Structures are given as structure tokens and as C-alpha cells.
Amino acid sequence: MNIVIKNATIVDASNEFHQKQVDIKIENGVITEIAPEINHGDFDTLFLENLHISGGWMDASVSFGEPGFEDRETIDNGLTTAAKSGFTHIAYQPNTSPVIDNQSVVSFVQSKATHHATSLHPIGAFTKNQEGNDLSEMFDMQNAGSIAFGDYKKSITNANLLKIGLQYVQDFNGTVIAFCNDATIKGKGVVHEGIVSTKLGLKGIPPLAEEVVLARNLFLLEYTGGKMHIPTISTAQSVAMIKEAKAKGLNVTCSVAVHNLVLTDEVLSNFDTRFKVNPPLRNAFHQQALINGVLDGTIDVITSDHCAIDIEHKKMEFDMAKDGTIGLESAFGALLEILPLNIVIEKLQAAKHLFLKESNGIKVGQKADLTLFDPSKKWTFTKNDILSKSKNTAFLNHPMKGVVYGIYHNNKLIIK
């Protein structure tokens, strides 16, 4: 597709045109010219109000359901939703049926994503069927296109298995994703353990459930070497431990979910299961520590942790409802309410560097991998803004700042 994007302000601190308004010419998916004004000739043109452009964003944790749970979300509609939400890449979690634990399922989900503007990158399960007993076929999956290996929302209880896995993946430069949650400490807890859980009479999940497993995993990483990514941390002590591990030189990165940054357990007063997530929404003390961790660079990535859940498993008693919220559509607008634009863009792009080893530059000669947005518009997220098949959003009726127009990627322009 040949197009000239007009009057776009580039948001890219490494770019000579950073914070400058320019035209961008794209021919057959490649940026061929950037200038204050470009004669578009017979090219199509795109004008959008207060248009800003950054390198494309990547969501490091997305769950649709297909194969096996298409009633929650399909790959086709999910990738369209991701594109209209500003994401040119997504990391696709293995909690499908069958589980993404072998080369054939990796190839299947990739085939379903063909011809979409947003690229899908499978995460292979760390253990067979995500059961925590035997290592999966990680080498074969990486050759087929998996970008990392982890059991979604499941800690590896067998420390020796995690040790062996960390040693094994070093032969092919693989990354282990190690979710941290001690099920025995969590017990029957469903929300953060604290004042709110006591008032509501709900069983609490202490921060210790996350922190004790994180401490063990960091000790294992120090022993084995290799690369480890800790997804969706939620406590102040987790931030401190990862900061210390990085200072020691360990090759560890981490992410935080948008909802854990923006919301606290105070929203649980009406027992609304839209707010039941894993890890749980914590109190303001932990929320501020997470924000500080983003600002000082301890937290590498912000993810929507988009998890589609059908209404039958959400509209029920709080104790029985499944964990998870969709978040692609609301991620950008929610983040700009609490963080500066440059930080939001940096953290939404960071997963591309970590998992794909790709730069985010907007330069002549590079393939166009762009997100288009207006960072200033104020609005409220309503049911009409939900593009996902599932409607389990924690951000319904939440105030937003900044709207996403769409993306240009894989030689396709997708505008909402």
C-alpha cells in the first residue's frame, strides 16, 4: 500500500524528527521519505486530527482462546482488535486447547494470523500441557516461531524442573517466563489481603504469595544463568527484589499489567467480578511502588494482560468467577491518565526489543511499523468502545486520556 501520512508529530526520542510535525511517505510497506512537506502525487493521503506517530507497540501478554475457546475470542477478531488498539505485535499466551506446547500448535496459531496487520508471536508452554511435570518441546517450538516459554498464570512448583529448563534454553538463547505465585500461600484467596478484603469478607492473597516464589526464581537464575522474564508483578517488594537482581547483573526483565498500575482494590466494593484478576489489584501503597518502578526503569514492560473470558465464567459469585480482564482497547487511554506520554510509548514498545530484538525507529529505508494516535483527547471508555468478543473489561466507564487511531504494519493501514 502506497500512502503519504500528513502532518504527523513523531514521538521517538532517538529520531531527528522527534516532536516535529512531518509528512511520511510509505511505498510497498517501506518508509521512503520523511520531510516537513511531501508532494503526494498519485499516492493516497491520510489526515487525522492532532496525529502523533510512534514505532509500533507490542503487547507482551494476550489471551484470546483459539484454538479451543473460540467462544471467548477468535484470533481473527482479536488481531483486528489489537490493530485498532495500536498494537502491531502481540505475544500470544499458550492457555489454549490444545495447549501451545509443541511445534504443530505453534504453526497452527501462526497460520490463523496470516495476512493480518498485527503480527502474532506465540509463547510456548514451559511444561507439557502446562501441567508442571515435564518440559515441553521448547527447541522445536522456538524453531517454529515461539519467542519465549512459560506456563500462563502458573508457577513452576518443581524448582529443579525450572533449574533444568533455565539451563536447557541457553543452548538456543531462549527466554523463560516465570509467573510467581505460591498456590499454598494463596490458598482460597481471591483479592489482595488487606483492609478491603477484611471489610468485604473475601479471602485475601498476601503479597508474600508472589514474593516468596520470585525470590526462589531469582536465586535459581543466579545459579543457572540464562534469561528470565517475570510477568505481571504486583507488589512493592517484587519491584525491590528485581531492582536488586538487575544491580547484581542478572539477566532478568519484568512486566506489569495496566490494571495493576491504574486501579486499586478500592474498586471491589460492589463485588464486581470484572475486577477479579491474577495477580489481584493491590492497595495504593503497592500501586505507587509499581508506578515508581516504571518511572525508574526497574519495570521493563507494560502489558494489557488481555484475557478474554466468556460471560458464563464472569457473571457469577466472586469466589467462583474466573480471573482476567480484556485490556487491549483501554490500555493507552488508561495509562496516559497516570504516566507521561514518553514513558507510556517506551514501555508499550519495550517488548519488541526484549522478545523480537527489533528496533522501534521511524527512519527512511525501514519497514513501516507504526502506531497512530492522539495523546490529548479526553473521553470515557464505554461498552461501545469494546471491540473484543468478550466484554470482561475492568475499565468500563473509566476516564481516559488519548485515543488510538490505528496502525500501519505489514503493508496494511488499519484505522478504527
Write down all domains in the chain, each with its CATH number in brackets: 3-51+367-380+398-415 (2.30.40.10), 52-356 (3.20.20.140)
Positions of E strands within 201-250: 204-205, 227-230
User: pLDDT tens digits, residue range 290-315?
Assistant: 999 999 999 999 999 999 999 999 99
Which residues have a catalytic role annotated?
Answer: 305
Question: Angle, to 10 degrees, between the axis of helix 341-351 and the axis of helix 284-295?
Answer: 80
- List Cβ neighbours of 416 (8 Å cut-off, separation of 6 or more): 84, 404, 405, 406
Question: Residues for the chain: how many in total?
Answer: 416
The grid coordinates of residue 185 equal 500461600
pLDDT over threshold 80, residue 28: yes
The continuous run of DSSP H or E covering 21 comes out as strand 21-27
- Judged by average pLDDT, the poorest of 53-62, 90-99, 343-352, 357-366 is 357-366
- List the grid coordinates of 297: 526503569
- Comparing CA positions, the residue from 276, 263, 269, 398 lying closest to residue 333 is 398
**pLDDT tens profile 98-151:** 999 999 999 999 999 999 999 999 999 999 999 999 999 999 999 999 999 999
Which residues, in sequence order, are bridge partners of residue 401?
378
Give residue 232's pLDDT: 98
pLDDT at 358 over 90: no
Q: What is the pLDDT of the chain when averaged over all its residues?
A: 97
Strands 370-380 and 52-55: antiparallel
| Contact in structure between 230 and 301 (CB atoms under 8 Å) | no
225-273 pLDDT per residue, tens: 999 999 999 999 999 999 999 999 999 999 999 999 999 999 999 999 9
Q: In the predicted model, is pLDDT for residue 374 greater than 80?
A: yes
Residue 340 burial (CB count, 10 A): 12
Mean pLDDT of the 22-34 span: 96
Gap between the Cα atoms of 148 and 146, Å rounded = 6
How far apart CA 242 and CA 237 sit, in angstroms, is 9
